[in-house]
């Protein structure tokens, strides 16, 4: 009996440990890279055909590069175009892996990793996990948005991972109706928030200023202002801090 009891206890402990183990949801690096390499091969194969077609037109964009490519004899032209396509695919694929979101979920914490930068949140900090369009959002107990990231992971896998570890999940932001479209100089914002939103709008116009936009979002969160983007527009709401 003692042996059976000890075995049952060990089995229960192992089961609990398995449930508490972190689940990592991430895109397959090989799948991403191979996908973009495949796209590069297609582009490389089509490039000579497109060049041959462009040089027959009386006027066409990129007529200089098209004529140069058409002048290269076969099979060197096709082999070279395919090689360039593969290289471009590799570059884009590795960039896609670098930009993709990885989510680690355990009962004690949630870790979001993008661009080699990890954000870690204790389970007591995360009140609700939300799917907001193509973004994953973590909300705190006061309704404050503590994380928002573009997400191309399988939503069902994410939902299962969070719910399986005791987190609440929602397929729509419960505060969505509280967001108001931002226009410069609008009332209701705390002091300094309008200037930050102006700066963030300018940063979002430049593809190279994505990190500036994220930093400005964090500054707005310190003021209690939650921001969400829709196309080129910014929407905001106040958190429900006591």
Q: Cα separations (Å) of 69 from 7, 88, 92, 151, 159?
A: 73, 17, 23, 39, 50
Stretch among 11-15, 54-58, 126-130 having the lowest mean pLDDT: 11-15
Average pLDDT, integer, range 227-231 = 88
Give me the pLDDT at residue 167, please.
96
Average pLDDT, integer, range 39-53 = 72
Give me the pLDDT at residue 15, please.
47
Q: Where is mean pLDDT largest: 16-30, 42-56, 78-92, 107-121?
A: 107-121
Average pLDDT, integer, range 75-98 = 70
Q: Among residues of the chain, what percentage have pLDDT more than 90?
A: 33
Given a cut of 80, whether residue 147 has pLDDT beyond it is: yes
Give me the pLDDT at residue 26, please.
81
Cα–Cα distance, 112 to 118 (Å, whole number): 6
Q: Look at the pTM and tell me if it is higher than 0.85.
A: no
**Torsion from C-alpha of 111, 115, 117, 121, nearest 10 degrees:** -20
Three-state SS annotation for the chain:
CHHHHHHHHHHHHHHHHHHHCCEEECCCHHHHHHHHHHHHHHHHHHHHHHHHHHCCCCCCCCHHHHHHHHHCCCCHHHHHHHHHHHHHHHHHHHHHHHHCCEEEECCCEEEEEECCEEEEEEHHHCCEEEEECCEEEEECCCCCEEEEEECCCCHHHHHHHHHHCCCCEECCCCCHHHCEECCCCCCCCCCCHHHHHHHHHHHHCCHHHHHHHHHHHHHHHHCCEEEEEECCEEEEEECCCC
Q: Grade residue 189 by pLDDT with cuts at 50, 70 and 90.
A: very high
């Amino acid at each position: 009996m003692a042996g059976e009891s000890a075995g049952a206890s060990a089995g229960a402990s192992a089961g609990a440990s398995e449930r508490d183990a972190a689940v990592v949801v991430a895109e397959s690096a090989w799948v991403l890279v191979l996908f973009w390499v495949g796209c590069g091969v297609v582009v490389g194969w089509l490039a000579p055909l497109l060049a041959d077609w462009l040089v027959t037109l009386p006027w066409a964009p990129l007529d200089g590069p098209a004529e140069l490519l058409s002048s290269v004899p076969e099979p060197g032209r096709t082999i070279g175009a395919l090689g360039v396509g593969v290289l471009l695919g590799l570059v884009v694929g590795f960039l896609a892996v670098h930009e993709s979101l990885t989510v680690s979920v355990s009962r004690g914490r949630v870790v979001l990793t993008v661009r080699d930068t990890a954000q870690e949140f204790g389970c007591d900090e995360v009140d609700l996990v939300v799917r907001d369009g193509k973004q994953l959002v973590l909300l705190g107990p006061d309704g404050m948005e503590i994380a928002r990231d573009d997400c191309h992971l399988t939503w069902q896998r994410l939902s299962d991972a969070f719910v399986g570890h005791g987190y609440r999940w929602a397929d729509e932001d419960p505060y969505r109706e509280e967001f108001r479209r931002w226009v410069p100089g609008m009332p209701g914002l705390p002091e300094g928030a309008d200037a930050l939103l102006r700066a963030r709008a300018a940063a979002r116009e430049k593809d190279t200023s994505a990190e500036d936009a994220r930093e400005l979002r964090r500054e707005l969160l310190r003021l209690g202002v939650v921001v969400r983007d829709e196309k080129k527009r910014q929407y905001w709401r106040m958190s429900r801090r006591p």
